[in-house]
Amino acid sequence: MAAETSANAKAYKTAVIKIGSNTLTDDEGKCDRAYLADLAHQVARVRREGWRVIIVSSGAIPCGLEALGLPLRRPDDMPTVQAAASVGQRALLAAYDQVFSPYGMLTSLVLLTRRDTADRNAYLHARDTFRRLVELNAVPIVNENDTVSVEQIKFGDNDTLAALVACLANADRVVILSDIDGLYTSNPKTDPSARLIKRVDRITPEILAGASGAGSAVGSGGMITKLTSARVLGAAGIPLVICSGRAEDAVVRSLADDPIGTLFTGADVPHEITPRKLWIALGDSVKGTLLVDAGAARAIVEDGASLLAVGVKNVEGEFEAEDVVDVVDEAGFVIARGLARCSAESMRSGKADIAVHRDELILFE
């Protein structure tokens, strides 16, 4: 496959396609090779239409359990989970290779933990590598490095990882292939009156209130992590489609603007998301919450100002300076995420001046 030069780097669009474990496995919980073959066919089609594709694939753990002949449900002990991920990641990549190579598509493997994008240098390396892989026309298969991930450096779900990869790769669209056919007004598995929402221009408090966690023993994150990812992608101006991975031609339709699932349109005027801001948004875990008054909320959202401590009405959680905190408005809606300039204790004691500097604040609104 010929490598492209950077001179024609804009001749294609980049899609990040995230495939959940439920989508990738059959009813018994085994890797569904027929499904992967259909996926490869679809990827080959969209590539002919000018898309370059990065796949964020779950499924290492179930595929490892299958290969090891272990019961096909998530083990309780971490060493078995991590060993299964190690065996399964290899098996999964072999399965991808088998279905992609007949189309002349070359796969690559990228396994990440939070640590790999945690400092600016590591982040920039990851960004450059993704962009180069896409330029070289490879199909990167990305997953969390479950074999070495421990709690402190875990993304924990591939929805977050997909959003991070999309921002790193400067993607034009993200598709989440899920076990559900889109975002509903509430979880349809527990609420029969839930309705599918076909288009979302803004993620409102009502939409967030209707989202809950994973709906199966295999999936992780559920709709909550998808919506957090959607907000970051929205701020970056990257549209997202969430649809059923099992719907016919799901990938082709999602990239062809043929209505399917739920489309999150993203901001018309994207915020500039610097590497540091992206890391704040997705790279670290949130340690506390700052509830701000209406004036402070307006100042940060409308004027792009820093968050001053006088505007913070309540500080929740115990955090130190440089920890990640959510900024919520008086209704409890998360409007931004940022790095605390000082500890929770100093904010409560009124000693602080700036609570979060604007260069370290990512706005979701």
Ligand X SMILES: N[C@@H](CCC(=O)OP(=O)(O)O)C(=O)O
Ligand Y SMILES: Nc1ncnc2c1ncn2[C@@H]1O[C@H](COP(=O)(O)OP(=O)(O)O)[C@@H](O)[C@H]1O
User: Binding segment for ligand Y among 101-109, 143-151, 217-225, 279-287 (CB under 6 A)?
Assistant: 217-225
Q: Is 214 in the site for ligand Y (CB under 6 A)?
A: yes
User: By rule CB under 6 A, what string of x and - marks binding of each residue 116-155 to ligand X?
Assistant: ---------------------------xx-x---------
Q: Is 59 in the site for ligand Y (CB under 6 A)?
A: no
How far apart are the C-alpha atoms of 5 and 242, rounded to whole Å?
Answer: 32
User: By rule CB under 6 A, what string of x and - marks binding of each residue 266-305 to ligand Y?
Assistant: ----------------------------------------
The upper half-sphere exposure of residue 353, i.e. CA atoms within 13 Å in the direction of its Cβ, equals: 0
Considering only residues 169 through 198, tell me which ones interact with ligand Y, judged by CB under 6 A: 178-180, 183-184, 186-189
User: By rule CB under 6 A, what string of x and - marks binding of each residue 5-44 to ligand X?
Assistant: ---------------xxx----------------------
> Which of ligand X, ligand Y, none does residue 275 bind (CB under 5 to 8 Å by kind)?
none
Q: Is 219 in the site for ligand Y (CB under 6 A)?
A: yes
Closer to ligand X by CB, 226 or 277: give it. Answer: 226
Smallest distance from ligand Y to CB 179, Å = 4
Binding residues: 18, 58, 146, 158, 178-179, 220-226
Smallest distance from ligand X to CB 142, Å = 10
Among 29, 182, 210, 221, binds ligand X (CB under 6 A): 221
Smallest distance from ligand Y to CB 210, Å = 5
The residues of the shown chain that bind ligand X, judged by CB under 6 A, are 20-22, 58-61, 143-144, 146, 157-158, 218-221
The residues of the shown chain that bind ligand Y, judged by CB under 6 A, are 20-23, 178-180, 183-184, 186-189, 210-212, 214-216, 219-223
